[in-house]
Amino acid sequence: MAHIWPIGGGKGGSGKSFLASSLGRLLAKSGKKTLLIDLDLGAANLHTMVGVPYPEKCFSDFVTKKIPVLEDTVLGTPFPNLFLISGAHDNLDIANLPYDKKIKTLRAIAKLQYEYILLDLGAGTAFNTLDFFLASRNGIFITTPEPTSIENVYRLMRAIYFRRIRHYFSATDFKALEKKARQQSGDDSFNKPEHIISIVKKEYPEKYMLIKKDFNSFCFKLILNQLRKQDNTDLGMQICKIIKKHLGINVIFTGNIAYDEHVHDAICQRVCFLDRYPHTRAANDLRELNSKMSDSLGEQLMLNYL
Ligand SMILES: Nc1ncnc2c1ncn2[C@@H]1O[C@H](COP(=O)(O)OP(=O)(O)OP(=O)(O)O)[C@@H](O)[C@H]1O
Ligand SMILES: [Mg+2]
């Protein structure tokens, strides 16, 4: 069974593609058959980070049925064991991927024969992005230490949280819940998830227990990228505490990745950072993260919630 790692961050430029390509490279190097899927449709650039300058096929060929089987859109990379489904040439916007195509894609991903499948999800909180993130229990959030990036990753977590809760209610019940929240806590009640969950706890205790159990089974992770010397190294831990307090969900702080000018250099040279600059602090951080993360259990995609 494949390990599926969706990688999401609220803000563009936080390092999702850099992380996906680096973890992919490390997993592949350790002998794991690894597939990267670029789902940052419309702004795909993962191919450039794994040495595939001109992908001759891509994900949208599957969506448009030009290539009927998802596996046939897979490209090799210059690295043994590392494969890619590129998002290049896609003029699709993930937000506009119709429901039936999303389900078809997830079912097709579930059938792929790889040890690790990493999904580079792109920024934003489009429902499709949330659903790809929630299809696995091992989602990875990434942010930089900048307040704007932290704000956006929090917004993403909150959107994911509500997206999941939404599945436990019929449209009518959810509307009633929204109305009650607005009456009790004002119009910004959806910015304060603890209000919603306190209403769920009181009015729908069975659903509350199910939701709690559901969230406890997730193993969300948070990675802080582009940490400079002067930055607070405990920031990641502090963010996780705030998430626990406001959303009641466990997000495990998994580690920091140092800011390193060489990342920019490697991308400009279109080479893999880890191969060109293996003795840097950031490369060390990535190796540490990879060894912490790669012993999680493989799992089935959760398609029943869609
Ligand atoms: N640890 C790092 N040190 C220095 N620069 C970094 C680091 N990580 C990423 N960067 C820089 O940030 C830029 C953005 O990274 P990346 O493309 O991975 O972000 P992204 O989250 O995928 O963005 P988008 O949402 O636009 O796809 C890179 O081009 C690189 O120059
Ligand atoms: Mg990207």
Structure tokens at 244: 């626990």
Burial class from Cβ neighbours inside 10 Å (0-12, 13-18, 19+) for residue 221 reads buried
Least confident span in 56-60, 71-75, 122-126, 257-261: 122-126
Nearest ligand 1 atom to alpha carbon 258: 1
Specify the pLDDT at position 248.
85
pLDDT in tens, 230-254: 999 999 999 999 999 888 889 999 9
Average pLDDT over residues 190-217: 87
Specify the pLDDT at position 298.
57
Is residue 219 predicted with pLDDT exceeding 60? yes
Q: What's the gap in Å between 178 CA and the centre of ligand 1?
A: 37
Q: Render 94-114 in DSSP notation, one character per residue.
A: GGGS-HHHHHHHHHHHHH---
Domains, the chain, ranges and CATH?
3-150+218-243+251-293 (3.40.50.300)
Ligand 1 pocket list (CB less than 6 A): 9, 12-18, 40, 43, 122-123, 225-226, 257, 259-260, 263-264, 267, 282
Nearest ligand 1 atom to alpha carbon 11: 25
Edge to edge, the sheet with strand 34-38 lists 75-76, 82-85, 34-38, 116-120, 3-8, 140-143, 220-227, 251-258
- Look at ligand 1, atom 30, and give the residue with the nearest C-alpha: 264
**β-pair type (82-85, 75-76):** antiparallel
Nearest ligand 1 atom to alpha carbon 21: 18
pLDDT in tens, 72-125: 999 999 999 999 999 977 677 777 888 999 999 999 999 999 999 999 998 989
Nearest ligand 1 atom to alpha carbon 9: 21
On average, the pLDDT of the chain sits at 91
Percent of the chain with pLDDT over 70: 94
Is residue 48 predicted with pLDDT exceeding 60? yes
CA distance 129 to 16: 13
Structure tokens at 262: 């060489």
Specify the pLDDT at position 192.
73
Confidence of residue 301 (pLDDT cuts 50, 70, 90): low
Is residue 303 predicted with pLDDT exceeding 70? no
Average pLDDT over residues 132-145: 96
Most informative mutation of 17, 46, 149 for ligand 1 (most atoms within 8 A of CB): 17
For residue 111, the tally of other CB atoms under 10 A from its CB is 11
